[in-house]
Amino acid sequence: MHLMYFTEQPMSAYPQEEGEKFGYTALLFPNKFFDPVAASRLYQERLEEYLYAEEMGVDGIMLNEHHNAPFCMQAKVNIFAAILAAMTKRVKIVLLGNPLPIADNPVRLAEELAMIDLISKGRLVSGFVRGGGVESLATNANPAYNRERFVEAHDLIIKTWTQPGPFRWEGNHYHFRVVNPWVLPLQKPHPRVWIPGVVSRETIVWAAEHRYPYIILNAPLEECKKIWQLYDEAAARVGYKAGPEQRGYLIRCHVAETEEKAIENAKQFMWMQGEFTGLTHPLWAAPAGYLGEWARRPLAEYRVGRRKQTMPPFEKQLETMSIIAGTPKQVVEKLRIIIEETRPSILALWGNDGKVSHEDSMTCIRLLGQEVMPALREIGEKLDLKSPFEANTPVSLACTPPHELMATAAL
């Protein structure tokens, strides 16, 4: 198995009463409440935690990116990835990932990722995401073109990495007279691409068609089974049988020396679900045009008040293992159930959120590395869950067909 450590890099250091008064702490929540001193401290603490995770034997460090929201301090995922590329020695740097639809220059993005791959000596996993609706609104990107821009930017990046330049690109959303970057990735044909998500059916099918591992973000177990069925069906249509190496899963998981301490800290996972105002407005998360036809009815019902957005209480999420908390032994037994039922070869453990202290985060990382992950590797070995690197799976089945308007002749 490939075992990763993850945190949203939250910044809960703002006046809670102001967040409660405003109602949501994303997009329009005034940044006058931003505390630069606390932010600087948090960046230093997160860096120390990531380096410690490598020391404790974690296989990968998962990084992501969000905008205009204190629940994630990663304003540009490539910046922290570049820092880790230089400061770490062994761990994979897994970006889940760069939001392609808000990128105005995919060629520049391809160059940045190539630099990270070179500096890390080939340890980059370059995940791509569509980004949340907030990302589109924060960067003035039309949500209706989100998927189109995602697909075209992906195709341009892959071609930039794999086809010698110079060449010309004339697409629907991107136009380049010259594509000829001098910096190209160390990994050939290109760094592995993993795709995270949970809601969009179209993205699941697209990932399967490209043979990209799909990382489910903390969905309930029953939903996971439906996702894998959809993925497997799409894979079969393009001519291959999907295996565990195409399956990934992110789970909120906090470990402590005692069950009481673990549960106390695990309650901070509710911060992003609105209990401590770390929540975005549903209409900002999924603006008009962002999701496919299958989502239009529930969104319309929410807008007219016929459907309410509710989150299960903390105790219910513990019971259903949407959140896992406890001593190493307790955590391993719960993760065993998840692994046996969903069979992912890629498992990301989301260790903290909200106001979990740096000291407690370090304890969690130590216990994950020394006690939890060795047990998980044994479970994975018994279930024959080889990571994509061990299984030596292809980087992708095939790129999507060239864009109809793309001029491939070199200048």
Question: Which pLDDT score, from 0 to 100, does residue 328 have?
Answer: 98
For residue 398, pLDDT over 50 is answered with: no
CB 18 within 8 A of CB 273: no
User: In this predicted structure, what is the pLDDT of residue 374?
Assistant: 98
Domains in the chain and their CATH numbers? 2-391 (3.20.20.30)
Average pLDDT, integer, range 1-15: 93
Q: Please, which residues bridge with residue 217 across strands? A: 250
Condensed to tens digits (0 to 9), the pLDDT of residues 282-306 reads 778 888 778 776 666 666 565 556 5
The H-or-E segment that residue 249 falls in is strand 247-255
Average of pLDDT values for 28-38? 95
- For position 298, what pLDDT does the model report? 65
CA gap 112, 370 in Å, rounded: 34
Residue 405 is predicted with a pLDDT of: 35
**DSSP annotation string for 111-172:** HHHHHHHHHTTS-EEEEEE---HHHHHHTT--GGGHHHHHHHHHHHHHHHHHS-S-EEEE-S
Is 142's pLDDT higher than 70? yes
Rounded to 10 deg, the angle between the 77-87 and 36-55 helix axes is: 50
Mean pLDDT across the stretch 218-241?
95
How far is C-alpha 33 from the chain's CA centre? 27
Q: Over the chain, what is the mean pLDDT?
A: 91
pTM above 0.85, yes or no: yes
57-90: per-residue pLDDT in tens?
999 999 999 999 898 999 999 999 999 999 999 9
Give the integer Cα–Cα distance in Å for 157 and 191: 11
Q: Give the range among 68-77, 185-194, 217-226, 309-318 with minimum mean pLDDT.
A: 309-318
Q: How many CB atoms lie within 10 A of CB 85?
A: 19
Please give the average per-residue pLDDT across 16-24, as a whole number.
90
pLDDT(202) > 50: yes
The tokens of 192 are what?
């592995």
Q: Do 154 and 169 form a contact (C-beta atoms < 8 A)?
A: no
Mean pLDDT within 4-31? 92
pLDDT for 397 equals 45
Q: What angle do CA 59, 339, 206 make, to 5 degrees?
A: 75
Query: Sign of dihedral through CA atoms 238, 239, 245, 247?
Result: positive
Average pLDDT in the 19-29 region?
91
* C-beta separation of 411 from 270 below 8 A: no
CB-CB contact of 195 with 209 (8 Å):
no
Cis status of the peptide bond prior to 10, with omega within 30 of 0: no
Rounded-to-integer distance, Cα 192 and Cα 124, Å: 8
Q: Which of 114, 108, 112 is nearest to 178 (CA)?
A: 108
Instruction: Provide, rounded to the nearest whole percent, the portion of the chain with pLDDT above 70.
Output: 92
- Give the closest residue to 256 by CA, choosing from 329, 332, 328, 324: 328
pLDDT in tens, 145-199: 999 999 999 999 999 999 999 999 999 999 999 999 999 999 999 999 999 998 7
Q: What angle do CA 282, 288, 293 make, to 5 degrees?
A: 100
Closest CA to 3 of 46, 67, 61, 51: 61
Output the pLDDT for position 401: 41
Q: Are 245 and 393 in contact (CB under 8 A)?
A: yes
Higher pLDDT, 308 or 114: 114
Is the model's pLDDT at 408 over the cut of 60? no
**Could you read off the pLDDT of 115-136 as tens digits, one per residue?**
999 999 999 999 999 988 899 9
